[in-house]
Amino acid sequence: MAIRWEKLTVKSQQAMEQAQARAAELGNPEVQPVHLLLALVEDREGVIPSVLGKIGVPTERLEHDLHQIEEKLPRVAGAAAQPGLSQALQKVFDQAFREAANFKDEYVSTEHLLLGVAHVKNDAARERCSRWAQRTKQF
């Protein structure tokens, strides 16, 4: 499914822009779920740090772990091209749009993006977040 950017809330668009900028800055060829989750967690004015805190995820520790995951991602040198969306991130967006539809929401919010991340299998960022939330069994 193609991403309908106009159906993202302003906060969701900002998170994605931040994720793309971070991937480009690090020289990553693709924007991964870790980039998006980190953008969501680092937005102190957004709702995601509060949501994660309520399910027992220590956001500062999670942030540290996500930075470690980013450091291990492949890098390309000399390429000035904009990083593309990874297959895993495409799955995040597909799920986020489904979540928005399930809630009968017209726009995809940051909460929907977080739910999208929670559904991606075999992803290091999701696994790390899940590990922090396991004691409450809510992620």
For the chain, the domains span: 5-133
Q: In this predicted structure, what is the pLDDT of residue 64?
A: 95
Quick one: average pLDDT of 97-116?
Answer: 97
Tokens standing for residue 67: 């930075």
- pLDDT at 26 > cutoff 80: yes
Positive or negative, the CA dihedral 109, 115, 119, 124 is: positive
Reply yes or no on domain 5-133 having CATH 1.10.1780.10.
yes
Question: Distance (Å, rounded) from C-alpha 112 to C-alpha 9?
Answer: 10
Task: Encode pLDDT of 49-83 as tens digits.
Answer: 999 998 888 999 999 999 999 999 999 887 567 89
Q: In this predicted structure, what is the pLDDT of residue 16?
A: 97
Which residues have CB under 8 Å from 115's CB, separation 6+? Answer: 95, 96, 99
Quick one: average pLDDT of 103-120?
Answer: 96
* Residue with the two structure tokens 């986020």: 96
Cut 0.75: pTM above it: yes
Tokens standing for residue 103: 């809630």
Whether 128 and 63 have beta carbons less than 8 Å apart is answered as: no
